[in-house]
Each structure stands twice: as C-alpha cells, then as structure tokens.
Amino acid sequence: MQAKETLLADLVQGKKQQFQVPLYQRTYSWTERQLAQLWRDILEQVGLLGNEDGASTHFLGSVVLAPSPQNAPTFNRWLVVDGQQRLTTLSLALAAIRDHIAGDRGDEAERIEEDYLVNKRMHGTDRFRLLPTQADRAQYAAQVNGTTAEHGAGDRVAAAYQFFRTKLVQAEDPAEPVDPLRIEEAITTRLTFVAVTAERGDNVHRIFESLNNTGLKLSQADLLRNYLFMKLRTRGEHVYETYWLPLQESLSNEELEQLMWLNLVLDGDDRVRRQDLYTAQQQRFEKRAADEPEIEEYIKQLHRRSAHFRKLIHPREEPSPAVRSCLERLHDWQAVVTHPALMLVLDRRARGELDDTDAARALSYVESFLVRRTICRIPTNNLNRIFQSVPAQLPRDVPVADGLHRLLSSDNRFWPDDAELRDKIRTAPFYRYGRPHQRRIVLQRLEESHGHPEPVDFATAHLTIEHVMPQAPGDAWMRMLDEDTMLGESAEDLHARLQHTLGNLTLTAVNAELSNHPFERKQDLLKASHLEMNRRIAAAERWGAVEILARADDLAERAAVLWPAPLRDVRRAERSRDWHLAHQVLAALPPGTWTSYGDLAAFLGSGAQAVGNHLANTPGVINAYRVLNSEGRVSDGFRWATPRDEGDDVRARLAADGIAFTAAGAADPAQRLSADDLARLLADPDEEGDEDASAAGTGDGEETRAARFRRQLAADDSPATVAAVEELLASWEALGGWIGHGAGQTTTSAYLMLGAAGLPGKGIWPLTLYPGSGRGGTAEVVFQYLASRRPFTDRALRAELLARLNTMDGVDIPEGKLDLRPAFRLEILDDPRNRALLTETLAWFRDRWETREAD
C-alpha cells in the first residue's frame, strides 16, 4: 500500500485510465453547502496562483484506490474506495468550465475534456475518465457529453453542474473578473489529496478509517503563541505577565487570531490568509533570524494594537465623538471586511499622523464606499481583497485620509459616483439587495439628515421598513398606478418596477391594520409619525409613480451629501455591471422555469425594451431564450444571438428544459419567476429576508403578535378560512410544534416552528403564513431556507415535500421553484381533505427532522 500527496492533474490528467465508483458506494450526495465551501476554497487558491512566497495549497482529503477486477494491461481501472464525492464534484466543475468557454475558446475547452474528463477514442462507458455509480451514471454522462437527460428534482449531479455554471458567470464580475482558465489551474494544481493506492488483498478500509479520524485542532493563535514563547527563553515570563496575559484576557481566542492576522496585514502582507497566519508569521521571523528582543517587540506591538482592535468590536471605548459615531455605524453595518483599513486609520492616529477630525473623515470614506456600493447593487465578492490591500497600497505622498480617498476612488474599486447613485436610487429595487439591517441603517441615516429637533431614539423605537405603496396593492392602488403607466406598460409592470425602490420605502411602527389600505387611509397615520420623512410623505396628495420618483430624487440629494463621492469621475462600468447581474440570474434559472422581459427589467432596475435589445445582441448569455413576453410567448423580435443556435425551435428548447405549455400555447404561468423570485435566486438564504419576516421567536410581545396576526387574517379572509387556519395551527401544536410570529409591526406572520422555543437558529419551519393584504392570505413554502438546513439540504427530501403539497387540490407548485419560496392560498384549506393532507405532510416533515443526523 502506497500513500503520497498528489494533485488532481497528477492523478487524472493525460492518462488512459478510469476511476470506477463501486456499486456499493453511496450515490453522489454533495449539497450546495459543500459546493459553496469548495468554490470559496477554489477562488482563494486562484488568488494565490503565482505567489512567490509559497502560500499553502488547499488539502481536500484522501482518495483511496484499489485495482479493479476489470483492470487491463493497456487500460488501468481503479476502484474509488474513498474520495468519490470530491472526484465527481471536481469533474463536474471542469465540465462546467469547458462548456463556459466553448463558444470563444474551443481549443481550450477540447483540451480540458481530453485531459480530465474522457478517454479519447474509447467507446461506451470506457470513454469516461470517472465512472460514477449506476444511479448517477446517466446524469453524469449527460453533463460530460453535453447532452440532455431526464432528471428528477432531487438529482444532485445535475444540480452541482448547474451550480458551477452559475458561479462561473458570477466570476465574470467587471469589478474583478476571474479567468475561467485560472479557475481550472487552481482546481488541477492547487487542490491536494493524499492518494492511497492499494494492491490486491490490502485492507483499504482500515487505512480509510485511519485517514478520516480527526481530533481537536490547535488554532492559529495557539500555534503562534507556542512558537513565540518557545523563542523567549529568558524573557518569557516577564513578557507573558506584562503584555500577553492582559492581551489574552481582553480578547477571545478568535479575536486574538483576528488581531494577529490584522497585524500581518498592517505590516504590508496583503496576500496572507487567516488560516496561514502561523506559517506566514513564522516564516517572517525565520527569514530575519529574529532574536528575543524582536519577538518581544512583536508581542508589545500586538498589545498596543489590541486597543485599536477593541474599538472596532466595542466602539463605545472610543473617546472621540466623531470617530465613535463612524465606528458605531460601521460596527452596526457588520463591516468586518473593512477592519484592515479601520485598523490602519486608528494606528496612524496613535502615531500622530492624523487627528480625530481627519480620522473621522477617513472612516466616512470607508462607510460611503460600502453604502454607495450597496445602494448601487455592486457585488461584495471582492471587498476582502480591496480592504486587505489598503495598508500595502496606501499612497505615501499624501495625508492618510486623502490617501485612502484616492485609493478607494481608483477605477477598479467601483465606488459609485453621484450620477450613478442618483440613477440607482430612482430605479434599483433597493429592498431586494443586501442585508435587512443594512437597509434599515440607510433609511435611518436619511431620516437623521433632516436634523429634526427631537430626533428619534432608533435603538428603542422598534421600527421596520414599510412600503408606502404596498407589496400587495388593492384595487384602489392599481387604479391610481394605471394613471401613471407609460406606453406599453401595465399597472402591474409599474408596480413591480417601483415597489422596492428607495423612493417608496420608509421606517414606521404604525398599526398593522392600515398596512395595505389606500394612501388616503395611510396619510393620517404618517402625519402623526415622529419621523420627518413620514410627515413629508403624508403631505403628498397621492402616491403614484410621479411622487415616488420625486421623493427618490430628494433622497438622492441627501445621500450624496451624507456619503462622500469618489475623488473624480473615473471610468465606470455601471451598465456592464447591470448586464452582468442579468447574466448571473439567467444562469441560475432552475430547470422548468421562465421569466419575462418585464420581470427581468424590474429586477435590474432597467426597461423591458433595453433588456430585450441586450439579450438579442449579446452572444453567449445562458438561458436567454427562457425570457418571454408577459403572456408567456416568444417575443416577435426574438432572435438567437449565437449563429450555431440559429434554426433551433425555441419552443422545443423550452420543452426540453421542463417548461410546460397551456392549451393556448403559452408557457405555464405557474413556472414563471417574478422579479422577487429572481432576486431570491441570487440571495443568501441566511441574509436575505423581508423586514416583516425577520424574527419568529417567543417573548414578551408574543401574544400581541399572535393577536395581530389573527386580526389581519380575519380582516381579509372569510370566516371559513380563518377557522381552517386556526385548526391547522392547533394540529401543528398537537404534532409537537409551536407557533412563532414575525416581528413586523406593519404586517405580521405565523411560522410553523419545530425545535426549542426562543432559541434563534436552533429550530426549523416548513411554512410561513401571511395575512392577505387585500388579496387573501397565503402559505409560503420556504424551500430556499430549507436548502441550508439539515436534513432538507437533501434535494430529494425537498422534492418529496413538494410532491406531498401538490396532492392538495388547488396546489400545483412546479419543480423549478424547489429552490425558491412559492406560496399557495390559505383559502384552499377550507376543504377538509386539503387540511388532512397538509397535516399528514407536516407530520412527515416533523418525522424527517426529528430523525436527522446530528451536525
């Protein structure tokens, strides 16, 4: 038996061989949780390519191989005893890269296929370099061959391939594009394995068990501390008591590790990873042959800088009011990514290079950089690199604050200028981007800009974000919107375009009963508000498109003053970023779904005609043909942007993707994704959420929330539906669940919870019930949330939940919405059979959760 460290390229590349997954092995089982972690590791290694400091590769684990009984002298076949999940995943990633570049780099695509995926000139199953288990084979072959195959909702091979196709589109971000061939290089030369090769008769399972035994690992801080005091042979006790012990007592071990990493970054190392902290610092000392005084000075420096670090995590310790205010806002924003820049400012202030006023100005640039990018929907994926590079790249010929302003203003940082800021405040669906607490902070700062003589105490006010024009408008709202539509636009299109923009959002703690009433009913409520922005809204005679856009312009002027602009009007790529966002979301369309030009335009904050023109004239946009008109038909002006597709029948391609058609020939409207659905496709389920659905715990206000939910339900639904919902809630409690209620003051909700009450993050729920808001109550099935919660990370389990729900009359959720949050009407529960079926489904859900494997 031989064991050695190897790379995927060395294991697989260029050899006529096959890795066979035995039939007794489990089927492919990686979920998006594991795929996302691997993708982060791959991108991290991409950033380390060419690093002359010998940064560590990423260790993926073991691959245990044994000779196959089907081995032949000219064709080696290996049984994969351990490692099939990793090998399958990396093969699918390489297949996705091949297909991503096939249009304009065909030679490279062919090379990837022949080096890693297939055995050229072999036939049948021998053609595949990796041969999965029988259950996965057809779908894996379809991805490698570039063909279509029937797949179920729970098929993980197809889902993994689609995951990588989507991520590759995202990696084309204009702010920091990543070459797909660099990703290939990282996969094949930066991910390492221990390859254990057995001979016939060897006990491969014994070595498999040994390799997979793990113990409690020392942290990077533990390793570095041990190294430091090993070097302090004569001064160790004094240094420990004077500097290290106070440092260790003021910070947790995780915080201490973060400080040690920041210390390296401040000293100019803009490439070091936190997990390489110990190795990087050790190498610095060894390279300089550091003696005891140098080691002691390093620990003193950590001790000094710990005071700065504590102000980042405890801003109230900062004595300067101006600096403290900036630090508090950045702390509330949860801007951990900016810590290298913040530490630099505080460190330079301590050295006398700038005063409190200039320090606050420097921090305001950091805040503006974050806020403007959020308002303008610029992805956050490159923020780590931007801020980690600040200490090393800060100009030395100007004062610190001016240098930071200049550095962040450079054209590859994408700090939006005033023109872009004004445009996005008017058009971008702000409510559907970023984190809920960040959206509140933006509105809070805009309210504070009014300088009200009796400012609101936001810490105790319990305000939530309110849509002035509601998300579910009644007939009165729609009639008013109809007056403001443009040529070719419906009231529904106008509502979708404006509902989530900043001009239509405010903060309020108003009574829930008036949440969706006509504007005239809202005015009295808003007039009585302590917030100046609400009183100004109440002064309007109506609330349609004209008023929303006028308020957006006012907010934009305030925002431009609150958050400083970059230094100069440098080259920007605003529209290319918008189109990149369109490419991302189209690549993420699940099988069996379509969207419309209007939906995509509302998601982008663009116009439907501009969307159509772009798709028609841009080759290589994945799933562009799945954008239809609002009736679900192929647009009269549609044309294939790629010559090789010309002549293909669009409807046949749609049918192959699982899209059904009505008797009238239109795409099934149940499979259509709205603008909100599109936003959820790219959202992090742990970060994305409505303001009104941000909490489901129990507490002092639980009875009030429950009563509010019942009042709203009774105000909108029939007595029969209210009684049916009450029966459902009672049935859920009889099953051992409990009812949580959302924290929203405007519109509340009811969560069907399992797990310990009052312990956030420890429970799970399958459904959220919402009052009707003028159109009848709904039950939202939270597939997107369940996809990150065990055991429902298993796509097959979510597919079974969907199938069970679809047995109810009036429910027909398409498979394509298995990663979203589809809803059905509460009124269907009026039928006793439907209530019985739903109760059975909830019992099944409870049983699956209670028998889950421990994390």
Q: What is the pLDDT of residue 848?
A: 93
209-248 pLDDT per residue, tens: 555 554 445 678 888 888 888 888 888 888 888 998 899 8
Q: What is the pLDDT of residue 402?
A: 94
**Phi and psi based region of residue 167 (left: phi greater than 0; alpha: psi -120 to 50; beta: remaining):** alpha
Q: What is the pLDDT of residue 208?
A: 53
Asked if 652 and 707 sit in the same domain, the reply is: no
* The pLDDT of residue 495 is above 90: yes
The pLDDT mean for the chain works out to 85
Residue 746 is classified by DSSP as S
Q: What span, in angstroms and rounded, lies between the C-alpha atoms of 188 and 91? A: 10
Cis peptide before 791 (omega within 30 of 0): yes
- Within 190-337, residue ranges assigned H as helices are 204-212, 220-231, 236-239, 245-250, 253-266, 277-288, 292-313, 321-333
Residue at a domain's end among 497, 529, 562: 562
* Closest to 183 measured CA to CA, from 200, 169, 198: 169
Q: What span, in angstroms and rounded, lies between the C-alpha atoms of 362 and 401? A: 4
Mean pLDDT of 629-648: 79
The tokens for 723 are 């009684």
Domain presence at residue 431: yes
Determine the 3-state secondary structure of 3 from DSSP.
Answer: strand
Determine the 3-state secondary structure of 738 from DSSP.
Answer: strand
The alpha carbon dihedral of 93, 99, 101, 107 has a sign of positive
Q: What is the pLDDT of residue 515?
A: 60
496-509 pLDDT per residue, tens: 999 999 999 999 87
Q: What is the pLDDT of residue 511?
A: 46
Q: What span, in angstroms and rounded, lies between the C-alpha atoms of 405 and 415? A: 10
Domain presence at residue 329: no
Mean pLDDT of 610-626: 87
Q: What is the pLDDT of residue 780?
A: 93
Asked if 729 and 822 sit in the same domain, the reply is: yes
Q: What is the pLDDT of residue 574?
A: 47
* The pLDDT of residue 616 is above 80: yes
Name the band, by pLDDT with cuts 50, 70 and 90, for residue 434: confident
Domain presence at residue 531: yes
% of the chain beyond a pLDDT of 70: 88
* The pLDDT of residue 733 is above 60: yes
Determine the 3-state secondary structure of 514 from DSSP.
Answer: helix
What's the Cα-to-Cα distance from 563 to each of 368, 410, 452, 670, 690, rounded to whole Å?
5, 17, 19, 42, 25
361-400 pLDDT per residue, tens: 999 999 999 999 999 988 887 888 899 999 999 988 889 9
Residue at a domain's end among 313, 342, 370: 313
Is the Cβ–Cβ distance between 197 and 65 less than 8 Å?
A: yes
Asked if 134 and 262 sit in the same domain, the reply is: no
Q: pTM of the prediction? A: 0.77
Domain presence at residue 182: yes
438-481 pLDDT per residue, tens: 999 999 999 999 887 777 778 777 788 889 998 888 888 899 99
- Within 428-573, residue ranges assigned H as helices are 436-448, 458-461, 475-482, 491-498, 519-527, 532-538, 545-562
Lowest mean pLDDT among 7-11, 721-725, 745-749: 745-749
Q: What is the pLDDT of residue 355?
A: 96
Q: What is the pLDDT of residue 527?
A: 84
* Closest to 537 measured CA to CA, from 468, 471, 484: 468
40-98 pLDDT per residue, tens: 899 988 988 876 555 678 888 888 888 887 777 778 888 888 889 999 999 999 999 99
The tokens for 212 are 């997979």
539-568 pLDDT per residue, tens: 999 999 999 999 999 999 999 999 999 997
* Closest to 667 measured CA to CA, from 639, 638, 625, 637: 625
Asked if 55 and 204 sit in the same domain, the reply is: yes
Asked if 821 and 796 sit in the same domain, the reply is: yes
Domain presence at residue 135: yes
* The pLDDT of residue 760 is above 70: no
Q: What is the pLDDT of residue 847?
A: 94
Domain presence at residue 404: no
Between helices 719-734 and 832-850, what is the axis angle to 10°?
30
Domain presence at residue 76: yes
Name the band, by pLDDT with cuts 50, 70 and 90, for residue 277: confident
Asked if 181 and 231 sit in the same domain, the reply is: no
Asked if 86 and 231 sit in the same domain, the reply is: no
* Closest to 688 measured CA to CA, from 473, 435, 385, 510: 435
Structural domains counted in the chain: 5
Domain presence at residue 667: yes
Asked if 666 and 758 sit in the same domain, the reply is: no
Between residues 740 and 756, the one the model is more confident about = 740
- The parent domain of residue 781 ranges over 694-850
Give the strands of the sheet with 672-673, arranged side by side: 627-628, 594-596, 672-673
Q: What is the pLDDT of residue 4?
A: 86
Between residues 198 and 807, the one the model is more confident about = 807
Asked if 650 and 740 sit in the same domain, the reply is: no
Is the Cβ–Cβ distance between 485 and 493 less than 8 Å?
A: yes
Asked if 440 and 587 sit in the same domain, the reply is: no
191-213 pLDDT per residue, tens: 998 888 877 666 555 555 555 55
**Contact residues for 228 (Cβ-Cβ < 8 A; gap 6+):** 295, 298, 299
Q: What is the pLDDT of residue 257?
A: 92
* The pLDDT of residue 573 is above 70: no
Q: Give 770's strand partners.
A: 778
Q: What is the pLDDT of residue 428?
A: 93
Asked if 463 and 493 sit in the same domain, the reply is: yes
